[in-house]
């Protein structure tokens, strides 16, 4: 297992240092602006340049709100607290009559603060965002009563609506973000489960068939090794060939499992219906005569359909060899215009489908994933029948 060593702490990048310096410089400048506000609020002549009275008058409250903005990314609550404190102090020290300072920009100043409260609601849990919204509302209502330009009750109602709207929008954004994250987590878990089941089916189908053939061939070899050495030698050759193929398949599967997360776990090369003749021969070596019938066209099939059809035949023949006690079976593969039919019949005693094995379950899962139909059970006339109908994608049905 590869473990990446943590990177040793090093000097902070120059850009990060510059951003931090600018952010805290703005905070340090905030008290100066607040102290300067009463001078601007009296009149333009109070600062000695009447011609610039209106620009400076708007600049002061803008600076009070904007100077702490540099802290929003890392310390949003501190930034919001500084904005609220500065706005409240400016309002308290500069309010006057109907033409007083902040009478026309009070709303704009606190709307910007409401937007910050909404941003906090979008990025922080409710146990933080709800008290934050309450504090913002309380400060705005207090600032409305300190400013005598308009009816403070109207401003209180406006503040209530604005803060509520900002919080609702921010909380909705966070709820959608949480929902999207839950969907991604669920989709990832489903993908992992589907991949695990796919590999489990491949392992079962590959190993179960191979072990069944090996067990039967080993039994045959042990019984005839003294009387029929040629047949015993053939059984050992079959065991060797089957073992090598199974080992190669296991190596591919283990290699797929060891791939880093996020990479496709390919189990190629995968078998298909073109390998049925070899499968039939291996089953015949295990003592079961297989009659293979192919019908329909011979055009290439989609890879997933080709693999599923092969695995269904393989698992059905494995069950015949291991459980049916049959000496003969028939495999029919028929390609139609819009589907592929696979059927395996044996002449054994038959019997109900068991609940403990994974073979029938795996075959049914393969067919279900392709949107087909699957049947497995004893035949009325004796024996057992496995049938699958696999739709061919890209064909109008």
Tens-digit pLDDT string for the chain (397 aa) = 344 444 545 555 666 666 565 556 555 555 666 665 555 554 444 444 344 444 555 666 777 777 677 677 778 888 888 788 777 777 766 654 444 445 556 677 778 888 888 888 888 888 888 998 898 888 888 877 766 555 677 778 888 888 899 899 988 998 998 999 888 888 888 877 777 777 777 777 777 777 777 777 787 788 888 888 887 888 788 788 778 877 877 777 777 666 665 555 555 567 788 888 888 887 887 778 888 998 887 778 888 888 888 888 888 888 887 776 777 889 999 988 889 999 998 887 766 555 445 678 888 888 888 889 999 888 888 888 899 999 987 644 4
Task: Quickly tell me which residue has 């540099």 as its tokens.
Answer: 70
Domains and CATH numbers, the chain: 14-186 (no CATH), 273-397 (3.30.565.10)
Task: State which H helix or E strand residue 188 sits in.
Answer: helix 152-224
Task: Quickly tell me which residue has 């979008």 as its tokens.
Answer: 122
Reduced to 3 DSSP states, what percent helix, strand and coil does the chain have, rounded to the nearest 5?
Answer: 65, 10, 25
How far apart CA 205 and CA 216 sit, in angstroms, is 17
Using DSSP's 3-state secondary structure scheme, residue 311 falls into helix
CA angle 370, 373, 379 (to 5 degrees): 145
Whether this model's pTM surpasses 0.95: no
57: its two tokens: 């008058």
């Amino acid at each position: 297992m590869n473990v990446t060593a943590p990177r040793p702490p090093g000097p902070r990048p120059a850009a990060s240092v510059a951003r931090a310096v600018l952010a805290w410089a703005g905070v340090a400048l905030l008290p100066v602006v607040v102290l300067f506000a009463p001078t601007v609020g009296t009149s333009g002549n109070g600062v000695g340049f009447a011609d610039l009275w209106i620009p400076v008058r708007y600049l002061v409250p803008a600076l009070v709100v904007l100077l702490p903005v540099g802290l929003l990314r890392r310390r949003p609550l501190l930034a919001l607290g500084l904005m609220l404190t500065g706005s409240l102090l400016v309002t308290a020290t500069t309010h006057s009559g109907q033409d007083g300072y902040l009478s026309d920009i009070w709303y704009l100043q606190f709307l910007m603060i409401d937007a910050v409260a909404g941003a906090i609601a979008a990025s922080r849990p409710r146990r933080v965002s709800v008290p934050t919204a309450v504090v913002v509302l309380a400060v705005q209502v207090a600032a409305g009563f300190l400013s005598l330009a308009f009816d403070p009750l109207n401003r209180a109602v406006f503040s209530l609506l604005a803060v509520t709207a900002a919080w609702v929008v921010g909380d909705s954004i966070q709820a959608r973000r949480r929902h999207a994250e839950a969907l991604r987590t669920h989709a990832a878990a489903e993908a992992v489960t589907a991949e695990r089941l796919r590999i489990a089916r491949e392992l079962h189908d590959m190993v179960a068939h191979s072990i069944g053939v090996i067990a039967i061939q080993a039994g045959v070899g042990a019984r005839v090794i003294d009387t029929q050495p040629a047949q015993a030698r053939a059984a050992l050759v079959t065991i060797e060939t089957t073992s090598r193929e199974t080992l190669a398949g296991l190596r591919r599967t283990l290699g797929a499992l060891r791939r880093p997360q996020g990479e496709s776990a390919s189990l190629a090369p995968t078998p298909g219906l073109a390998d049925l003749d070899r499968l039939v021969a291996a089953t015949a070596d295990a003592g079961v005569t297989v009659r293979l019938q192919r019908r329909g066209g011979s055009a290439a099939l989609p890879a997933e359909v080709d693999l599923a059809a092969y695995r269904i035949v393989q698992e059905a023949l494995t069950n015949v060899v291991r459980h049916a006690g049959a000496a003969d079976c028939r495999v029919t593969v028929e390609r139609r215009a819009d589907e592929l039919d696979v059927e395996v019949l044996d002449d054994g005693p038959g019997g109900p489908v068991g609940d403990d094995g994974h073979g029938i379950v795996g075959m049914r899962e393969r067919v279900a994933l392709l949107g087909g139909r699957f049947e497995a059970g004893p035949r009325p006339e004796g024996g057992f029948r496995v049938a699958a109908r696999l739709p061919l994608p890209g064909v109008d049905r």
